[in-house]
Amino acid sequence: MHWIEVRSLEALKARIGEADVLLCSGLWRNELIAAAPRLAFIQSISAGTDQYSRESLGAAGIRLASAQGVNERAVAEHAIALILALARRIPEARDNQAARHWRGMIGDIGQREDELGGKTLLIVGLGRIGARLATLAKAFDMRVVATRREPSRGAGAADEVVGEEDLRGLLPQADFVALTCPLTPETENLIDAKALAAMKPSACLINVARGKVVNEPALIEALAQQRIAGAALDCVWEEPLPATSALWGMPNVLITPHTAGETRRYEDNVIDLLLENLERLWRGEVVLKNQVV
């Protein structure tokens, strides 16, 4: 087996015609299909596959598998870290450290660090990542409610699970709203101005899903007017986040650059999945693991 490594879109365009199998994610462009007559299989390195045209891949006879599940532990841990960072005001502490400022006792109780025990976490999308996050949150004695496409599949570690259509009824209960759902036509702009208005003023939004699940202008307005307390965002509408974005300068926003799943073990997990799917291809199996197309 011969392998080729490319590190830019230009290099991918130049070499994709030689490939039977492609391991890819962020560099993918659907126009590459026309330049890839030999390509039979794409193993995405991300769980989300919204960047791929399923119709075009299907028409070209190219199979696609997602990396769903390989980063569930990493992303769930990142989400709980973001929740803790907001509750314990870690970004503020880091700013104070940089300024060599020792903060004294805070008389205003509402401005102090908070505990997670007894707080309600709403998980939007109780898939693999959401289910793992629910387990972690229960370790902090949080109450966990969740939405999932098929609530009949069970709540797992969550205390309550409802269908996606009942999201608005859960939003007013939540102290933290964590987005772990895939980006689909149904979830795009799911957290819009109305959803944000349904949240408590003391609530925080955590997004480890996809940027377009949130209506970003509505979020910026809600944060600026302190209609919600804060947000921790691992993903945004446009990545990299433009330097002109108002999100950069907001004191109640914590940003990580879409690194929730980018751990030291991630590549090993993806390679294990790729090798399993290659074995299935060589055996002539019809169905691949995590097959999307």
Is residue 48 a contact partner of residue 75, using CB atoms and an 8 Å limit? no
The answer to whether residue 88 is domain-embedded is yes
DSSP one-letter code for 182: P
- Residue 2 annotated among the catalytic residues of the structure: no
The whole model's pTM is what?
0.89
- For residues 199 and 227, membership in a common domain is answered with yes
* Model pLDDT, residue 90: 97
Give SS3 for 49: coil
- For residues 61 and 17, membership in a common domain is answered with yes
The average pLDDT across 147-155 equals: 96
The average pLDDT across 24-53 equals: 93
**pLDDT tens-digit readout, 192-228:** 999 999 999 999 999 999 999 999 999 999 999 999 9
The answer to whether residue 137 is domain-embedded is yes
- For residues 63 and 76, membership in a common domain is answered with no
Which of 113, 165, 239, 285 is the catalytic position?
239
Flag whether pLDDT at 234 surpasses 90. yes
- For residues 201 and 80, membership in a common domain is answered with yes
- For residues 127 and 233, membership in a common domain is answered with yes
Q: Where in the sequence is the domain holding 33, given as residue range(s)? A: 9-69+264-282
To the nearest whole percent, how much of the chain has pLDDT over 70?
100
- For residues 158 and 225, membership in a common domain is answered with yes
The answer to whether residue 129 is domain-embedded is yes
The answer to whether residue 3 is domain-embedded is no
- For residues 272 and 164, membership in a common domain is answered with no
The answer to whether residue 292 is domain-embedded is no
Q: Is the peptide bond before 240 cis (omega within 30 degrees of 0)?
A: yes
**pLDDT tens-digit readout, 183-194:** 999 999 999 999
* Model pLDDT, residue 25: 80
Is residue 42 a contact partner of residue 274, using CB atoms and an 8 Å limit? no
* Model pLDDT, residue 50: 86
- For residues 98 and 196, membership in a common domain is answered with yes
Flag whether pLDDT at 48 surpasses 90. no
* Model pLDDT, residue 225: 98
The model's confidence at residue 26, banded by pLDDT at 50, 70 and 90, is confident
Give SS3 for 283: coil
- For residues 82 and 140, membership in a common domain is answered with yes
- For residues 161 and 56, membership in a common domain is answered with no
CATH classification at residue 20: 3.40.50.720
The answer to whether residue 1 is domain-embedded is no
The model's confidence at residue 15, banded by pLDDT at 50, 70 and 90, is very high
* Model pLDDT, residue 202: 98
The model's confidence at residue 43, banded by pLDDT at 50, 70 and 90, is very high
- Residue 164 annotated among the catalytic residues of the structure: no
State how far the alpha carbon of 136 is from the alpha carbons of 140, 180, 268, in Å: 7, 14, 23
The answer to whether residue 39 is domain-embedded is yes
* Model pLDDT, residue 247: 99
* Model pLDDT, residue 37: 97
**Low-confidence winner among 86-90, 146-150, 181-185 (lowest mean pLDDT):** 181-185
* Model pLDDT, residue 255: 99
Dihedral of alpha carbons 217, 166, 71, 66, sign:
negative
Please list, in sequence order, all residues whose beta carbon lies within 8 angstroms of the beta carbon of residue 71, skipping any fewer than 6 positions away.
47, 129, 260, 261, 263, 266, 269
- Residue 239 annotated among the catalytic residues of the structure: yes
Please list, in sequence order, all residues whose beta carbon lies within 8 angstroms of the beta carbon of residue 255, skipping any fewer than 6 positions away.
232, 233, 234, 236, 241, 247, 248
- For residues 49 and 173, membership in a common domain is answered with no
- For residues 64 and 35, membership in a common domain is answered with yes
Domain count, the chain: 2
The answer to whether residue 206 is domain-embedded is yes
Flag whether pLDDT at 47 surpasses 90. no
Which of 89, 132, 210, 216 is the catalytic position?
210
Flag whether pLDDT at 275 surpasses 90. yes
Please list, in sequence order, all residues whose beta carbon lies within 8 angstroms of the beta carbon of residue 244, skipping any fewer than 6 positions away.
none
Is residue 146 a contact partner of residue 158, using CB atoms and an 8 Å limit? yes
